[in-house]
Amino acid sequence: EAGVAQSPRYKIIEKRQSVAFWCNPISGHATLYWYQQILGQGPKLLIQFQNNGVVDDSQLPKDRFSAERLKGVDSTLKIQPAKLEDSAVYLCASSLVGTQGTEAFFGQGTRLTVV
Amino acid sequence: DAKTTQPPSMDCAEGRAANLPCNHSTISGNEYVYWYRQIHSQGPQYIIHGLKNNETNEMASLIITEDRKSSTLILPHATLRDTAVYYCIVRPRNSGGSNYKLTFGKGTLLTVNP
């Protein structure tokens, strides 16, 4: 089956500019996650959707980050305005809902460099 | 915060078994132990998970102690391609809701040497 697709793969922007990342999860996966991974650290959850509703956005810096998941499928994550400390890899993951076979599958990520 | 403790790094010779330990002393009865790994420049990849019984799949074996406070991931015949950061994660059994997140720590960097 096709995996989680993310684009772009790489992005370089200047601070105070805006940027958007796109994610297409595995077909049929109701849960979608966005993670931020700073160099040398484990991924940190930014936001979790179930279908098109937000389940957890407690670690999303809402003054500059926003995310949406239209029609419960694709999702976009936006940063506006970007700061230097936003330089990181942004990972999207998806999983089924249930008690079995609900492991999360990750995309390759978008590497953002803010200069 | 991650509920697990792992050594920051380990080495293993190619062809030998790699045994990666994880402590999760505060695990509750409805939480699974999950293992993921992340090869350089890739997203994390699911390896295996278990509740209380030992588990084995085509990638690895998971040994969970009887008190469930620790576990060991075993790669039976490590190859150079197994060099990666390995994450041990505890996660509630039932999906859905904000507690069904994957909370990553810093993991263990396993280096497989020729």
From the list B42, B100, B106, the residue facing A41 with the nearest CB is: B106
Is B105 touching A (CB cutoff 8 A)?
Answer: yes
pLDDT in tens, B6-33: 999 999 999 999 999 999 999 988 889 9
Task: Please write the tens of the pLDDT for every residue from A48-88.
Answer: 998 889 989 999 999 999 999 988 899 999 999 999 999 99
Q: Which of B4, B101, B108, B109 to mutate: most A Cβ within 10 Å?
A: B101
Distance of CA A50 to the CA centre of its chain: 14
CA distance B6 to chain A (A): 12
Give first-to-last CA distance, chain B, whole Å. Answer: 35
Mean pLDDT lowest among B28-32, B69-73, B74-78:
B28-32
Look at B95 and A102 and tell me if their CB atoms are within 8 Å: yes
Partner-chain residue, chosen from B46, B87, B93, that has the shortest CB–CB distance to A99: B93
**Exposed, middle or buried by CB within 10 Å (0-12, 13-18, 19+), for B72?**
middle
* Alpha carbons B101 and A41: distance in angstroms, whole number: 17
